[in-house]
Amino acid sequence: MKKKGLLIVLSGPSGVGKGTVRKAIFSQPDTKFEYSISMTTRKPREGEIDGVDYFFKEREEFEELIRQGKLLEYAEYVGNYYGTPVDYVKETLEAGKDVFLEIEVQGARQVREKFPDGLFIFLAPPSLSELELRITQRGTETAERIRDRMEKARKEIEMMNLYDYVVENDTIENACEKIKAIVVAEHCRTTRVAKLYKKILEVE
Amino acid sequence: MKKKGLLIVLSGPSGVGKGTVRKAIFSQPDTKFEYSISMTTRKPREGEIDGVDYFFKEREEFEELIRQGKLLEYAEYVGNYYGTPVDYVKETLEAGKDVFLEIEVQGARQVREKFPDGLFIFLAPPSLSELELRITQRGTETAERIRDRMEKARKEIEMMNLYDYVVENDTIENACEKIKAIVVAEHCRTTRVAKLYKKILEVE
């Protein structure tokens, strides 16, 4: 059953908890997919480690990598660049392993164009009020920036139709379980496995 | 989050182990969907109970129910009728519960026409030789009937493309886990949940 890995893209509005859910998934020992670490020009938040949470880069370095075509996707978001180094993703998929990206919605749109048969999951807040509450509680943003984010979130939720699946982040446990179930299911989709079974029929 | 239940259809070649997998799924306490018991005119095998494994009917009774439109689907298979009583399925879906059918491939085709947005899962043997072995080991069939079934199985495997998912029945545990993951995933499909989230945006 030799096949290429599956590209799994988790995205959703800023503040919805993508990073928390991703960390929870990768803290579980039965998780079989590989995490592709993003690159960003934003400053590390407290506790974030370079090469673990993100590759933290200066703006000039990031722009040079864009010019060299070394990014699968990138987006400028609230004044900072976020992007995915392309080589790691391609090599891991070729080796037959699933790769997991946690990226902003602008970037997800770019990946969809390059990997139309990827698995695109939208992490959604239980409601927009809940989303606003979470952003406010983070306590690191000005009121103006929160309004900007809310407006952005409305647009992002409208983008939901670009995704294959929507997972509501009601609890981290539920969201993790659903995302892992989606990956299991996706490997069973007829379009992905039909070729293999036709081969069995021919050999017989 | 008021919505109709999901119609889950498990089908596949005779002898692949549909019944065994279905029983294993419903023996697990966390299974949340409802089993729709099939009706058949074949004689009960040892240990099978009327109203639990099947509703066992005489041929004349079955044909009367067909005439009355009381069957969601039915098929004649190796000289016997198999079918699904329609009322139970419709009422359970309306109540918002998922309904699980385990049926023959002829029947699955009929259900697909009536419920195009149902969830159709094809249970596949690891290989056709493995399928033959399993049928032989059952020890209740003549050689001629086994040949009939093999020919039928080849045709059925070609029908795989009518299904949304293919689950290989390598072990019962794996098959059950994958089927349950597929149901979880299907509830998250964007086409099924997009309407709900658009409502949140409007209310806000």
| pLDDT for B26 | 94
How far is the alpha carbon of B39 from chain A, nearest alpha carbon, in Å? 28
Q: A28-33: long-range contacts (C-beta < 8 A, 24 or more apart)?
A: A28/A176, A28/A180, A31/A180, A32/A97, A32/A98, A33/A5, A33/A6, A33/A8, A33/A97, A33/A98, A33/A99, A33/A100, A33/A183
- Mean pLDDT in residue range B61-89: 93
Nearest 5°: the CA angle B17, B123, A28 is 105
Domain residue ranges in chain A = 7-36+97-203
Does A17 count as an annotated binding residue? yes
- CATH architecture, domain B7-36+98-203: 3-Layer(aba) Sandwich (3.40)
Q: To which H or E segment does residue B140 belong? A: none
Residues in chain A with pLDDT values less than 50: 1, 203-204
Which of B184, B183, B153, B178 has the alpha carbon at shortest distance from B166?
B178
Find the CB nearest B190 among A160, A193, A200: A160
CB contact under 8 A, B166 and A188: yes
pLDDT at A204: 45
Contact B185 A186 (CB under 8 A): yes
Look at residue B201 and tell me whether its pLDDT is greater than 70.
Answer: no
Three-state secondary structure readout of B26-85: HHCCCCCCEECCCEECCCCCCCCCECCCEEECCHHHHHHHHHCCCEEEEEEECCEEEEEE
* B113 class by beta-carbon count within 10 Å (0-12 exposed, 13-18 middle, 19+ buried): exposed
Mean pLDDT across chain B: 87
C-alpha closest to that of A17 among A169, A176, A177: A169
Q: Is B13 annotated as a binding-site member?
A: yes
**A72 SS3 class:** strand
| Structure token pair of residue A196 | 């293999």
Min Cα distance B40 → chain A (Å) is: 29
Q: Do B128 and A164 touch (CB under 8 A)?
A: no
Q: Which residue in this structure is represented by tokens 């880069």?
A: A57
Contacts of B127 in chain A (CB under 8 A): 200, 204
What angle do helix axes B190-203 and B172-187 make, rounded to 10 degrees? 30
Express as a percent the part of chain A with pLDDT over 70.
Answer: 85
ipTM of the complex: 0.80
Kindly determine whether residue A182 and residue B184, on different chains, have CB atoms separated by under 8 Å: yes
**If we measure between CA atoms, which residue out of B151, B147, B81, B160 comes closest to residue B120?**
B160
Q: What DSSP designation does B6 have?
A: P
Interface residue of A188, A193, A202, A203 to substitute, partner B, most B CBs within 10 Å: A188
**Annotation-wise, does B118 bind a ligand?**
no
For A64-115, the pLDDT digits (tens) are: 999 999 999 998 888 999 999 999 999 999 999 999 999 988 889 999 999 9
Which residue of chain A has the CA closest to B119? A189
Quick one: pLDDT at residue B132? 65
Structure tokens at B17: 């182990």
Q: How confident is the model at residue B84 (pLDDT cuts 50, 70, 90)?
A: very high
pLDDT at A160: 84
Q: Give the Cα separation of B175 and B197 in Å (integer).
A: 32
Measured between CA atoms, the residue of chain B closest to residue A153 is: B201
How many other CB atoms are found less than 10 A from the CB of residue A99?
24
Residue B157, phi then psi, degrees to nearest 5: -65, -35
Conformational region of residue A117, where left means phi above 0, alpha means psi within -120 to 50, and beta covers everything else: alpha
Identify whether the C-beta of residue A92 lies closer than 8 Å to the C-beta of residue A5. yes
Q: Give percent above pLDDT 90 in chain B.
A: 60
- pLDDT value at B96 more than 80: yes
Measured distance CA(B168)–CA(A155) in Å, rounded: 41
**A83 with A65: CB under 8 angstroms?**
yes
**Mutation test of the interface with chain B: which of A8, A122, A161, A166, choosing the one with the most B Cβ atoms within 10 A?**
A166
- CATH number for region A7-36+97-203: 3.40.50.300
The count of CB pairs under 8 A between chains A and B is: 96
Q: What is the pairing mode between strands A80-85 and A71-77?
A: antiparallel
Write down the mean pLDDT value for chain A. 87
